[in-house]
Structure 1
């Protein structure tokens, strides 16, 4: 995935923020924070993860489906995106 190589630092920074958010949930549970606070943390994580997922899907569509070098590559990339979307939508 060429787009993940070009934006690797930005993507890794987002992943590190997500890890930090997950650690905040762990700390909140360990310190018996109110469930409303934990739910808010989880909602923030879900939003951040969804944003990252959508960004990568859009980049995959642009880089590998639209700009594919040939029809065979386009078909493979479209199938990959379709499978990822199917899995993503099951989690909703």
Structure 2
């Protein structure tokens, strides 16, 4: 869970966008839309959820590694490397 106010605000904005996307998906399904647009909407939702997961994981890594009493340049580099891996994996 992001604890920094800016990280929390970003996460909540992403969640609200995802809610809007899922509501649009529900409307499309109720209206009997063709499969193509529904699949595009599902892919957009998946991308948005992955983006949210990436942001929260990055925030967690920064908070946990930055909170170590012995935090130094090595920890900062490790945090950067881990966030790069997370971002790459979730694309």
**Shared fold, TM over 0.5:** yes
Cα deviation digits, residues 8-34 of structure 1 (max 9, x gap)? 222111101100000011000000000
Alignment check: 8 A CA contact 2:11 2:55 kept: no
1:52 corresponds in structure 2 to: 52
Q: TM-score normalized by structure 2?
A: 0.67
Aligned pairs for 1:1-92 within 5 A: 1=1, 3-6=2-5, 7-64=7-64, 66-70=65-69
> Which 5+ residue runs of structure 1 have no aligned equivalent?
72-84
Q: TM-score normalized by structure 1?
A: 0.67
**Pairs aligned (count):** 71
Q: Which has the higher contact order (CA 8 A, sep 6+)?
A: 2
CA RMSD of aligned residues (A): 2.2
Alignment check: 8 A CA contact 1:4 1:11 kept: no
